[in-house]
Amino acid sequence: MASRRHRADVAPTRIDIAAYDAAGLAGVLADLGQPAYRTKQVASWLYSRLAPAFDEMTDLPTALRSGLNERYSLQHPSLDQMQPSKDGTRKYLWRLPDGVMVESVGIPAGDRLTVCYSTQAGCAMGCTFCATGRGGFVRDLLVGEMVWQVALVAKDFGVRASNAVAMGQGEPLQNYDATLGALRLMNAREGMEIGARHLTISTCGVIPGIERLAREPEQFTLAVSLHSAVQSTRNRIMPGVRRWPLPLLRDTLVDYTQRTSRRPTLEFALIAGENDTQAEITALVAFARGWMCHVNLIPVNPVEGTDMARPDASRMAAVTAALAAAGVESSIRVERGTDIDAACGQLTQHHRRTVG
Ligand code: SF4
Q: Residue 199, CB half-sphere, CA atoms under 13 Å: how many?
A: 23
Q: 120: part of which helix (H) or strand (E)?
A: strand 120-122
Tell which atom from ligand 1 comes closest to the C-alpha of 202. Answer: 2
Q: What is residue 186's DSSP assignment?
A: H
In 3D, which of 186, 264, 270 has the Cα closest to residue 228? 270
The answer to whether the CB of 340 is under 6 A from ligand 1 is no
Measured in Å, residue 128 CA sits from the centre of ligand 1 at 9
- For 165, phi then psi, to 5°, come to -125, 130
Chain-centroid distance of CA 50 in Å reads 20
User: What residue type is assigned to position 353 of the chain?
Assistant: R
Separation between Cα atoms, residue 104 and residue 146, nearest integer Å: 10
pLDDT tens digits, residue range 156-183? 999 999 999 999 999 999 999 999 999 9
Separation between Cα atoms, residue 84 and residue 46, nearest integer Å: 27
Look up 103 and say whether it is catalytic.
yes
Q: Is the dihedral of CA 111, 340, 144, 129 positive or negative?
A: positive
In 3D, which of 274, 152, 241, 261 has the Cα closest to residue 197? 261
Separation between Cα atoms, residue 296 and residue 334, nearest integer Å: 10
CB 151 within 8 A of CB 192: yes
The answer to whether the CB of 344 is under 6 A from ligand 1 is yes
Separation between Cα atoms, residue 227 and residue 323, nearest integer Å: 15
Which parts of 44-168 fold into alpha helices (H)?
62-71, 131-135, 143-157
The tens place of each residue's pLDDT in the chain, 356 residues long, gives 334 444 445 556 999 999 999 999 999 999 999 999 999 999 999 999 999 999 999 999 999 999 999 999 999 999 999 999 999 999 999 999 999 999 999 999 999 999 999 999 999 999 887 888 888 999 999 999 999 999 999 999 999 999 999 999 999 999 999 999 999 999 999 999 999 999 999 999 999 999 999 999 999 999 999 999 999 999 999 999 999 999 999 999 999 999 999 999 999 988 888 889 999 999 999 999 999 999 999 887 666 666 778 888 888 888 999 999 999 999 988 767 766 654 444 444 433 332 22
The answer to whether the CB of 168 is under 6 A from ligand 1 is no
Chain-centroid distance of CA 94 in Å reads 14
Measured in Å, residue 119 CA sits from the centre of ligand 1 at 11
The answer to whether the CB of 120 is under 6 A from ligand 1 is no
Query: Which residues 6+ apart lie within 8 Å of 133 measured at CB?
Result: 123, 125, 126, 127, 240, 345
Is the pTM higher than 0.85? The answer reads yes
Tell which atom from ligand 1 comes closest to the C-alpha of 129. Answer: 1
The answer to whether the CB of 301 is under 6 A from ligand 1 is no
User: What residue type is assigned to position 14 of the chain?
Assistant: R
Neighbours of 151 (CB within 10 A): 26
Cβ-count burial of 170 within 10 angstroms (0-12 exposed, 13-18 middle, 19+ buried)?
buried
* CA angle, residues 99, 101, 107, in degrees to nearest 5: 145
78-84 and 90-95 beta bridge pairing = antiparallel
The single residue of 56, 103, 171, 304 carrying the catalytic annotation is: 103
Look up 344 and say whether it is catalytic.
yes
Cβ-count burial of 31 within 10 angstroms (0-12 exposed, 13-18 middle, 19+ buried)?
exposed
